[in-house]
Amino acid sequence: MRLAAVGLLVALLAAGCGGGQAHDALSQTAGNLGKIRSGDLTLRLVVSPQEGTKGRIGFVLRGPFALRSGRLPIARIAYTQIAGAHAATATFISTGRKAYAEVKGKVRELPPSSTESIRQAAAGGSGGIGGLDIGSWVKDPHMTSEGDVDHVTAKLEVVNAANGLLGLLRGLGKQAPTIDGTEADRLRGAVKSSSFNVWTGKQDRLLRRLLMKAELGLSVPSELRRVLGDVVGAKVDFELAIAHPNQPVKVAPPG
């Protein structure tokens, strides 16, 4: 089951190293995204105005999951939709035998037709995040060692990163364009500041956390504005974190 599909179910990198070693760490981490079968997920994408909350849009997916080929996943994923100062949350719960939806404190068991659709989606693997080529999102990466993880910082290749995120949105069932040509040039010119950080397992090269931030000026490409809405001078925050990757997960039925 693609990690992106979970969203559909509920709404739905040696110390001081740069250059080649940092690139290799990012490439290996990107290549291993599809190998992550379980963990504690945080997937957050929020676009905010420079001040206040008016026009803020985005979503957060958070919770444990375990993907099981051909079977129902085990998961308790809370999906929060953000709109301005308001947020609404729905939770997808699956014990591996039965699946439930929880909204506003009320829980209902999903019918067999829905659980069968979920089981079939699980056969697709974790391609939702597995398709994120995070190595192409950056330039001039630098890597430092932090205990059992390596930390890669880099300058952002904003067009590649934007297209990667837009592709993720399409995987979540949302309409999103591809930025190219003159629109890509406009986007590069619109970026006032940006940052990119990845923490990856030193031994297993499994992603632990990715943080990306960008501050955009007024001249945002029209194709991207359709996704960002009316936010002008926007701040874009993206986080993808998977704690305890490939460790056992248990979810109890709702009480």
What whole-number distance in Å separates Cα of residue 211 and Cα of residue 215?
Answer: 14
The pLDDT of residue 230: 55
Residue 233 exposed, middle or buried by CB count within 10 Å (0-12, 13-18, 19+): middle
Tens digit of each residue's pLDDT, the chain (255 residues): 444 444 444 433 233 455 689 999 999 999 999 899 999 999 999 988 776 667 788 899 999 999 988 889 999 999 999 988 899 999 999 999 999 999 999 999 999 888 888 877 766 555 467 778 898 999 999 999 999 999 999 999 999 998 998 888 887 777 788 888 888 888 888 889 999 999 999 999 999 999 999 988 765 666 666 666 555 567 889 999 999 999 999 999 997
CB 67 within 8 A of CB 248: no
Angle value at C-alpha 80, between 76 and 86, nearest 5 degrees: 150
Which domains does the chain carry?
A: 3-243 (2.50.20)
Provide DSSP, 159-172: HHHHHHHHHHHHHT
Q: What is the predicted pLDDT for the residue at 174?
A: 77
pLDDT at 225: 64
Q: Half-sphere exposure of residue 120, counting CA atoms within 13 Å on the CB side?
A: 6
Q: Is 86 exposed, middle or buried (0-12, 13-18, 19+ CB in 10 A)?
A: exposed
pTM of the model: 0.84
In angstroms, rounded to a whole number, what is the distance separating the alpha carbons of residues 14 and 145? 6
